[in-house]
Structure 1
């Protein structure tokens, strides 16, 4: 069946994680051809590719370290060579390094910014010239409500995510005349399978989180994917420079 993204090609980074895979599946279900970028996760990438193609859509997987400018350049060239111009960038790759401020070295700081901010710059810088030439493009970055709320032991991560919101607004201003929109989707507390392996008491953590929210359930990767799928369409063509919080009302305002 025709979908709102038929004829569009998307590159999703961090595509094998709980959030990235939901985004990739939703974009493909809406008709987009999808390039799945991952870092040393060949098996999960192959399984996701098989899932998407098994449902009659088109996807390829590509490995890359998006912190590295040459690797990003090679990734974008490979995606273009195999699928054609990239219309939609969902810049999702990131890490969540928890470390007390007193133990945060300059190396830890640099790594947090490289992964959670500089990688987004590298990808957008590589892909937007072709979008501008085509007169249409979508840049969707994945931020975090913690850029507003703050949290202990995450100074590098939160600083990078706050910077990412600023980068997204700058791109919206600069690229809007070329037909490119740039928006940031900031998830709240989203339940992904990996959470159960790192949280000591998942039930207590869930209770604390629900007390912060208006919507009394945990967020799902599909909630975030739905917002991204909308921002990627023509219907969202007059929306740019925004941070859309998908957080069940955790952060109001």
Structure 2
């Protein structure tokens, strides 16, 4: 299927690894001009170069979106080639800490990194996007923002805020040709998750072999209907569809990519 993305300029934040990288690679394969973003120059530039060598078109911008100065630098780099038609707000950070080990300062930091960083990029890219008469703003949320659990309450509350701001933004963008949607992954097997599970294996008796750890973690921790962790490419596919003109009639929506992990409507 042709997603009709050829030539559209896309910024994917946090795309030097994980879900963001998979999304950037897929959108580039669909013909979009992708701007890779991260905080590690070597790693981000390597992703962009790999896309270019594969026949895609990509550049790289460096910046810490938790600060206004960093967001200014990223926006300036992204807009240097013209308006960005598609913004995928993906960058974020979390630590699997229990409730009473998450201080008030931790909550503030988490909200800044996981919510305000998204707002910073919307503020900086939306005015130019409006001049195109068409665009996409997509937030990467989380199934945990719908059905929270005990660990990392600060992060889960922040993802719920992402879901909320998406709908508010959709109302704001009425009649502009720009849509606002959320893709909410369930537990995904990215490197951060792998390291987290390795650290939890001893506590929960999941064994020492990775195959055993993953199987037991799925049974005890993920509890979805598919019976495995998700893959970054599966989230990227959902994002790619929502970026397409084929999804013009979808806005203010939340698309779960979680293998049935979320049990609520």
Question: What is the TM-score when the length of structure 2 is the normalising length?
Answer: 0.90
2:217 to 205, 219, 222: 205
Equivalent runs, 1:57-136 vs 2, <5 Å: 57-81=56-80, 83-136=81-134
Q: Distance in 1 between matches of 2:237 and 2:195?
A: 26
Matched, 1:192 2:213: no
CA distance in 2, matches of 1:237, 1:187: 22
Structure 1 partner of 2:207: none
Quickly say closer, same or farther: Cα 1:103–1:196, change in 2 above 3 A.
closer
**1:236 aligned partner:** 247
In the other structure, the counterpart of 1:249 is 260
Alignment correspondent of 2:4: 4
Structure 2 CA distance for partners of 1:50 and 1:163, relative to 1, 3 Å = same
Kept in 1, the 8 Å contact 2:134–2:176? The answer is yes
For the residues of structure 2 that align with 1:5 and 1:198, how far apart are their CA atoms? 36
CA offset digits 1:33-74 (Å, max 9, x no partner): 0111101x2222122112100111111111111111222122
* Counterpart mapping for 1:119-158 below 5 A: 119-158=117-156
Q: For 1:166 and 1:195, locate their aligned partners in 2 and report how far apart those are by CA, in whole Å.
A: 25
Local SS of the residue matching 2:252: coil
Q: For 1:114 and 1:9, locate their aligned partners in 2 and report how far apart those are by CA, in whole Å.
A: 26
The structural deviation recorded for 1:96 is 1.2
Residue 177 of structure 1: SS of its match in structure 2? coil
Please say if residues 189 and 209 of structure 1, whose CA atoms lie closer than 8 Å, have aligned partners that are also in contact: no
- Please name the residue that 1:54 is paired with: 53
User: Which deviations, in whole Å up to 9, do the C-alpha atoms of 1:189-209 show, x marking residues without a partner?
Assistant: 111133332323333213324
Structure 2 distance, partners of 1:31, 1:105, is 44
Q: How many residues align?
A: 250
Residues 135, 225 of structure 1: CA spacing in aligned structure 2 closer, same or farther, 3 A cutoff? Answer: same
The counterpart of 2:157, out of the listed 156, 159, 171, is 159
- Consecutive unaligned residues in structure 2, runs of 5 or more: 202-212
Deviation at 1:177, TM superposition (A): 1.4
Displacement of 1:24 after TM fit?
0.5
Is it true that 1:222 corresponds to 2:233 in the alignment? yes
- Structure 1 counterpart of 2:18: 18
Residue by residue over 1:58-92, the C-alpha shift from the partner in whole angstroms, topping out at 9 and shown as x without a partner, is 111111111112221221111111x3210000000
RMSD: 1.6
Q: Give a deviation string over 1:210-249, Cα, whole Å, max 9, x none.
A: 6x21223321000000000000000001100011110011
User: Offset at 1:99?
Assistant: 2.3
Structure 1 contact 3–29 (Cα < 8 Å) conserved: no
